[in-house]
Structure 1
Amino acid sequence: MSSLLTDHDALGLAELVRTRQVHPRELVQAAIERIEALNPKLNAVIHKRYEKALAEAENVPLDAPLAGVPVLAKDVHQEIQGEPMTFGSKSYASYIASEDSHFVRQLKRAGAIFLGITNVPEFALMAVTEPRHYGPTRGEVP
């Protein structure tokens, strides 16, 4: 199933959902499995919302342009309501987003499903992701 994620782009995945060749929950589960396999080495995903994503997969509008496509938000200006947003900094460690950002709202409206939040440089000021708060993102995706 995880080959679906590497064999298709976002529009291709949405088309598989639209034509009922795959259920959004299957895409979300495949993405979760891939994250869990790679993240221990990469340290790219710093906040996971798997249960919420699996629940959201049950109510995706199948005609949406990105129907069921699993995505990740960056830990900077891509707030997901009720989820942490630290900007890669310990000084925001207790901040919880009170609403979805415009970016997140648009992707959700398009049918995308957010699985979690990815690591960023502190305040996105550097070209490398080595924040003290979550540690560096390292490695290569096989």
Structure 2
Amino acid sequence: MKNTIYIAALCIPSLGLAEDNKAPAFDQRGAVLCSYAITLMVQNYASKCSDDAQASAWLLNVLDNHRDFVGRNGPASQLELDAFEANNLPDVSEQKLCSDPGTKGFFENIVKNKDSFRAEIAKSFSVDRKPVWNPCL
């Protein structure tokens, strides 16, 4: 699990475009870029490693919602979002991805607690604002 969180935390700053080095204000609605990176990672796992097509499709929809939010509220263009996703997914074989217990654990936890995850994402998207990546988890 530590490796998965570490990978997610490393992925996120590249999209923030390092506007400044100030610590972001805590937003009770959640850090959209953090959940974006985690959703990207988990949806990638779902599409390549899981037989649960419904979960994969649902996570793809959540991922699309993240893209829409960040594209609407952030400095990122669609090309930058595409580049972020292409450059920040772990560069590992499908076998290694599918056997990673941390990623599998994130996937299983999100699917098991889908209603809670959905509520947290809805709360996070409830107000348009600048997407931030901290505090991530």
Q: Normalising by the residue count of structure 1, what TM-score does the alignment of the two structures yield?
A: 0.31
**Higher share in helix:** 2
**Higher share in strand:** 1
Higher RCO (C-alpha 8 Å, min separation 6):
2
Determine which structure has more spread, i.e. the larger CA radius of gyration: 1
Q: Normalising by the residue count of structure 2, what TM-score does the alignment of the two structures yield?
A: 0.32
